[in-house]
Each structure stands twice: as structure tokens, then as C-alpha cells.
Chain A
Amino acid sequence: MSDKNDKSLLEKMEESQVWKSIIRSGIPRTRRQRMHAILGSVFLHLHPARLPKHAVKVGYTWCMGGLSFFLFVNLTITGILLMFYYRPTVEYAFTDIIDLSEQVPLGIMRELHRWAAHSMVLIVWLHMVRVFMTGSYKPPREFNWGIGVILMVLTMLLSFTGYLLPWDQLAIWAVTVGSNMARATPFLGNEGPGAALLAIGDINLVHVGSDVRFALLGGRFVGEATLLRFYVLHCIAIPFVAMIFMAVHFWRIRKDGGISGPL
């Protein structure tokens, strides 16, 4: 009976029903418990339980893939907080952005979101450079490299669509410069080569009011409809697609035999 009183608070806690229901294996002390800590958690089980030594070294992966994912999660959280305040209309967008730093307590949420977004583009690039330099795209990881390229494009599109939302001069002109190129898409843009061929008799099918640029902007210039379109793309559509590709990316890392390494 006496040893019962000798138990520390921690040990008592570990034996309680509540604790055991949440963390089944107890505080990971033994090898077995540590493996279980990874396998039993929905978040951590993205990882295998054991890895070759080089794969956990910062010097090998530079942690860049992990940081890309961290930034994505980070941006989702700060982005949701921004959505509480921001209204995507020409009337309110700009003033809501001003209010974010002037009226909202601890008003650095916009900064956190913007700088994390710039960082993510950079970190994803560095991740690609690392994967190239270690030759990790070679078989059997060819497909996952392709998934990665798509993720990189999505990351840049996310950043680009978000750039418009503050609705200031910087925003609309950067997006105007970017989307003007769509005008020149072969066959699909009104100033693209071949577009004139898509005509029935005298009637052009591809003109200023029907080309890809119009579809992207929801109008002939960057305006109210563009703002709404970019908002939906930025907050819902692209993150949704990116999440699916990330799921495939992570799954394939495991299925392709885990992190690459010399044989």
C-alpha cells in the first residue's frame, strides 16, 4: 500500500482513465512507447516510426519540405483570422486592410500572413533545389517530383491571387501586369496568335469579352468581379487543390521508400 503514495503526480496522471484514453502508450520512454507515439497519432504518423540516420539530419533535407508544410498551415491559420475582418468588395477591401493594423488589437496579423507567404515561395524553391542537388527525383521518385512542381506552381498562384486583395495601387497594377499576359495566350486570348482563326464567318469567338483573360478577371479589366474571383481562388479553391496535392505528395514519400538516401 505504501508504494502507492510514493508515486509522483505525473505517474498518477499517467494512470488516470482520461490520460490513458488520450495518449494510449503513456509518456514515451521505452523504444516501444516511442514508436507507438508516432504510429498512434494522426498527425505524427505522416512519419515512419524509424528512419535511417541521415534522413533526420538538418544537413540533408535542410528541413525545407517540413517548413513548406508548416508555412502552409501557418498561412491557413492567419488567413482565417484575416477573413474575420476582410470584405472582398471595392468599397470595403482597402479600408478593412487599413483597419487590420490600426483598429485590431495586436495588429500584426496581416504582416504575419504576408511575410509567411513570401517566405513560403522562397522555402518551396529551396526545397526544390535541395531535392535536385541530392538527385532525389530519380526513380522511384519521378512522380513525386512532378507533384512537387505542381505544388510550387500552386504556391505561386496562391501568393499571386492574395496580392490583389489589399486593393491598393500595388495590388491592382501588379495583377494587371500579370494578367495582361493572358491576353496573348495562343488561341484563347484576344491578342494571342491563332485566336482570329476561331471565328464563324465574320464573328470572332475569342474577343476581349470572351477570352481567358476575361474568364480570369471576370471582366475586361481588374475590377469588382476580379476581386471576388481572386478572393475565392485565394481562400478556397487553390488551398483546396493544394491540400489534395500535398496529401498525395506526403503519401508518395512513404510509398516511394521514405526519404532518399545512398544505397
Chain B
Amino acid sequence: MNITALKSLIDALSAPTISFTILTVIFPFIFPPSDWFEKIHRKSGLWRIWTKLGGVIGMILITAFFVIGYFDPYFNKTLTKADNFPIVLMIYSMWFYIWLGMFKAYRNDIRLDQGLKPNEYNDPDDKVLVWPDLVYIEFIALILFQVFLIVWSIIVAAPIEEPANPAATPNPSKAPWYFLGLQEMLVYYDPWIAGVLLPTFIIVGLMAIPYVDINKKGDGYYSFRERRVGMFIFMYGWVVLWLFLIIIGTFFRGPNWNFFGPFEYWDIHKVEALTNVNLSELLWVKWFNQGLPSNILIREGLGFVITGLYLFVLPVILAKTYLKDMYAAYGPTRFVTIMMLGLVMLALPIKMYLRWVFNLQYIVAIPEWFFNI
């Protein structure tokens, strides 16, 4: 395969519809949350990702992507923007450290299976002195990092563009890279959800983790199997719904926030057909073949019912059926908290797919009240 074909393949695969789907589908086989996934994880050899070989291959793939990108006239422009370098660092360091954590976790899992203590374990009486054992490590880490920063600062000048001009809006206007995940969510949700509600839920949700996770195991050492469900949920949220959206927002979004493959030219005139429709329009106009009712609550009734069912009825049904054991173990408060946080988190991919598959704009559309879901 020649390099151009490879590039167009990567371009095609990067489209959020495809890349996000691949990641989501493959994710439980990489961080298997149940026996069934674990079995395939083992059989298919995906577990090798968390071996030394897997770590090295990951590094090589990332490097290959950036090297090809560096020599590509279009990707080069995004890649070499001074403020995008942190994202290159992010991709490398997140991969390396998550790999390292999983590598250590798998080693510990084997030890635990054999009835041994985890690698981190040591005799409580066998302590080391902070001076010099820790102080010198900290000192070295600090010096190395400072050297790194100085070299980086000498090589890469901090960006400065034209003086601020409120009359000239750049296209695209992007938030700083660490907020690009949120900006990407704006494609699917209105600002009151993407910019206010979801960040609040992320913060509250993170803070709630220690209170809703009643699994006592895996405290103070790397491990996976003992806490696989928790690990899976956290990693999916962190890697796919946060980091990956940042990557999309940085590398794959061009003028008018249109999608562009990494090796594609950012054409300002690229037009994407806007054919999105609201649920209420589908219901009244398309299915019932009549005009929209003037009463807002009737017009959006179906949307309200669906949202209500999803957020308030679904947890009750789950508590009585599929998640009965979990409900008993976690108690009502924890269960409701987990459900609320989990359903809101899931609402993001759900809305993404509703958009991609049905061109659905809003489930509840009340622009009169600025209330669109």
C-alpha cells in the first residue's frame, strides 16, 4: 500500500462516526469488565497490549502517525502549531502511563491469583529514610523537568498572533486544548448542557467516585481484575469521552467546525448538508402529517416522555430487574447517584449516535425557553 492510500484510509477512519464507533466497540475488549469480555480479550490476544511488546508497538504507532503527519503538507500545519505540542505530549504520556499502570496491574493480578501479595507490598517495619532516599528522587525529577522546560522554551517560541481584533473572528475559533472536549460536545448538545451541565456533572461525578465505589479491593497497588468494572467505566469516560474528543477537536476540526481528516486540506468552503431535524418535527410533520401544535408542552410531549423514561423510570426498572443485586448491595442513595451520573455520561454517546444515524437535532426542542436537549 502506498502512502497516499494509507493517508486517505486514515482520513476516512478518523471521521468521528467511524473512529468513535471503533473505539467504543473495541474498548470493553481492551479493558474487559466481565468474564465474557475477558475470555475474548485473552483468546484474541488483545491482552498483549498490556505487555512490554504492546507498549512498544503503541509507541511506534503513535510515532509513525506523527512522522507521517509531520511530512504531510496539511497535517504539518496543525501538528506544528506551538500550542498543539502539548497534545502531542498528551498522546504520548497518556498512552505510556496508562500502559504502565495496566502493565503493573496485570503483573499484580497474576501474583494475587497465586495468593501472593502485590509487588508494592513491603514489610511494615522495613521503612526507608526520606533523606536521602526520597529527597534525591524528587530533586532529580525536578532538575530533569526543569531542563526539559528550558530546552522546550528555547526551541519553540510561545505563539503570538495578530493583536486582538473583536471585529475579525477567526475560523475556526478554538478554545484552549484542554477545553476542546467540551467544545466538541457542543456539536451534539446546546451550550447549557455541553458548557454548563456536563462540566458540572464531570466535576461532581469525579468527586463522587470514592463514595459510590464500595469495592474495597485494589487500594494502594496497581490491579485490574479486582476492580474491572470501575476501571472500565473510568477509562471509557477518561480516554474516549474526554481525551479522544480533545484529539478530534484539535486535529480533525477545521473551518466552521467541519470534520477534516488529518491529511485533508482545510477548505473553508466545504459545505456540509444541514439536514438535522427535531424529534417533534419527525413526530408531527413526518409521521402525523400535520403542523406543529402551538402548545409547547404538547408539541414536545414525546421528547419529555422519552427523557423522563430514560432518567427516572429506567433506573427503577433496572433496580428491580437486571441490577437487582447491585441495588441490594449499594443501597438506594448510592444506586441513584450511580444511575444519574452514569446515564448522563451515556447520554453523550447516545446523542452522538442519534445525530449520526437519524440526523436528530433535539429530543426536546424549546428554543423559546432556551431549553433544548
Residues on A facing B (Cβ under 8 Å): 28, 31, 34-35, 37-38, 44, 47-56, 58-60, 62-63, 66-67, 70-71, 74, 90, 94, 97-98, 101, 108, 110-112, 114-116, 118-119, 121-122, 125-126, 128-130, 132-139, 141-142, 145-146, 149, 153, 156, 159-160, 163, 166-174, 176-178, 180-186, 189, 191-196, 221-223, 260-263
Offer 27 A-B interface pairs, CB within 8 angstroms, sorted by A. Answer: A38-B130, A47-B134, A49-B131, A51-B130, A54-B121, A67-B142, A67-B145, A98-B160, A111-B152, A115-B156, A121-B178, A129-B98, A133-B105, A135-B218, A135-B220, A141-B210, A153-B203, A168-B160, A169-B162, A171-B164, A180-B195, A184-B196, A185-B192, A186-B197, A196-B369, A261-B121, A261-B122
- In the complex, the number of residue pairs spanning A and B with C-beta atoms less than 8 Å apart equals 276
By the criterion CB–CB under 8 Å, are B150 and A112 in contact? yes
Q: Is B234 an interface residue (CB 8 A)?
A: yes
Chain B contact residues: helix, strand, loop or mixed: helix
User: Assuming A53-B122, A94-B164, A261-B121, is B128 touching A177 (CB within 8 A)?
Assistant: no
By the criterion CB–CB under 8 Å, are A261 and B220 in contact? yes
By the criterion CB–CB under 8 Å, are B129 and A31 in contact? yes
CB contact list, B185-224 vs A, under 8 A = 186, 190-192, 194-197, 203, 206-207, 209-211, 213, 216-223
By the criterion CB–CB under 8 Å, are B137 and A63 in contact? yes
By the criterion CB–CB under 8 Å, are A50 and B127 in contact? yes
Residues on B facing A (Cβ under 8 Å): 83, 85-86, 89-90, 93-94, 97-98, 100-102, 104-105, 117-122, 124, 126-135, 137-138, 141-142, 145-146, 149-150, 152-154, 156-166, 168-170, 173-179, 182-183, 186, 190-192, 194-197, 203, 206-207, 209-211, 213, 216-223, 227, 231, 234, 238, 369-371
The 9 closest A-B pairs by CB, nearest first: A181-B195, A111-B153, A142-B210, A184-B191, A184-B192, A133-B101, A260-B220, A193-B371, A118-B86
By the criterion CB–CB under 8 Å, are A173 and B209 in contact? no
By the criterion CB–CB under 8 Å, are B196 and A142 in contact? no
Contacts of A194 in B (CB 8 A): 369, 371
User: Assuming A135-B227, A167-B163, is B207 touching A111 (CB within 8 A)?
Assistant: no
Q: Roughly how many angstroms separate A115 CA and B148 CA in the complex, as a whole number? A: 10
By the criterion CB–CB under 8 Å, are A130 and B120 in contact? no
Contacts of A130 in B (CB 8 A): 97, 101
By the criterion CB–CB under 8 Å, are A169 and B170 in contact? yes
Q: Roughly how many angstroms separate A232 CA and B148 CA in the complex, as a whole number? A: 29
Contacts of A173 in B (CB 8 A): 169-170, 173-174
Q: Which residue of A lies closest to B169 (CB)?
A: A173
Chain A contact residues: helix, strand, loop or mixed: helix
Contacts of A52 in B (CB 8 A): 122, 124, 126-128
By the criterion CB–CB under 8 Å, are B234 and A178 in contact? no
Q: Roughly how many angstroms separate A28 CA and B136 CA in the complex, as a whole number? A: 13
By the criterion CB–CB under 8 Å, are B195 and A136 in contact? no
Contacts of B83 in A (CB 8 A): 118, 170
Q: Roughly how many angstroms separate A134 CA and B141 CA in the complex, as a whole number? A: 21
Q: Roughly how many angstroms separate A163 CA and B160 CA in the complex, as a whole number? A: 11
Q: Roughly how many angstroms separate A48 CA and B131 CA in the complex, as a whole number? A: 10
The listed residue (B145, B179, B369) touching A70 by CB distance below 8 A is B145
By the criterion CB–CB under 8 Å, are B183 and A262 in contact? no
The listed residue (B128, B156, B222) touching A134 by CB distance below 8 A is B222
The listed residue (B93, B152, B174, B196) touching A174 by CB distance below 8 A is B174
* Minimal beta-carbon separation of B140 from chain A (angstroms): 9
By the criterion CB–CB under 8 Å, are A74 and B146 in contact? yes
By the criterion CB–CB under 8 Å, are B207 and A149 in contact? yes
By the criterion CB–CB under 8 Å, are A138 and B221 in contact? no
By the criterion CB–CB under 8 Å, are A129 and B238 in contact? yes
By the criterion CB–CB under 8 Å, are A146 and B207 in contact? yes
By the criterion CB–CB under 8 Å, are B216 and A174 in contact? no
The listed residue (B98, B135, B166) touching A223 by CB distance below 8 A is B166
Q: Roughly how many angstroms separate A193 CA and B162 CA in the complex, as a whole number? A: 36
The listed residue (A141, A168, A176) touching B173 by CB distance below 8 A is A176
Contacts of B105 in A (CB 8 A): 133
Contacts of A132 in B (CB 8 A): 209, 234
Q: Roughly how many angstroms separate A31 CA and B154 CA in the complex, as a whole number? A: 43
* Minimal beta-carbon separation of A244 from chain B (angstroms): 17
Q: Roughly how many angstroms separate A56 CA and B120 CA in the complex, as a whole number? A: 11
By the criterion CB–CB under 8 Å, are A56 and B130 in contact? yes
The listed residue (A31, A97, A119, A169) touching B165 by CB distance below 8 A is A169
By the criterion CB–CB under 8 Å, are A166 and B160 in contact? yes
Contacts of B195 in A (CB 8 A): 180-182, 184
By the criterion CB–CB under 8 Å, are A66 and B138 in contact? yes
* Minimal beta-carbon separation of A134 from chain B (angstroms): 6
Q: Roughly how many angstroms separate A141 CA and B93 CA in the complex, as a whole number? A: 26
Q: Roughly how many angstroms separate A115 CA and B82 CA in the complex, as a whole number? A: 10
Q: Which residue of A lies closest to B171 (CB)?
A: A173
Q: Roughly how many angstroms separate A132 CA and B14 CA in the complex, as a whole number? A: 29
Contacts of A170 in B (CB 8 A): 83, 159-161
Q: Which residue of A lies closest to B213 (CB)?
A: A138
Contacts of A142 in B (CB 8 A): 210-211
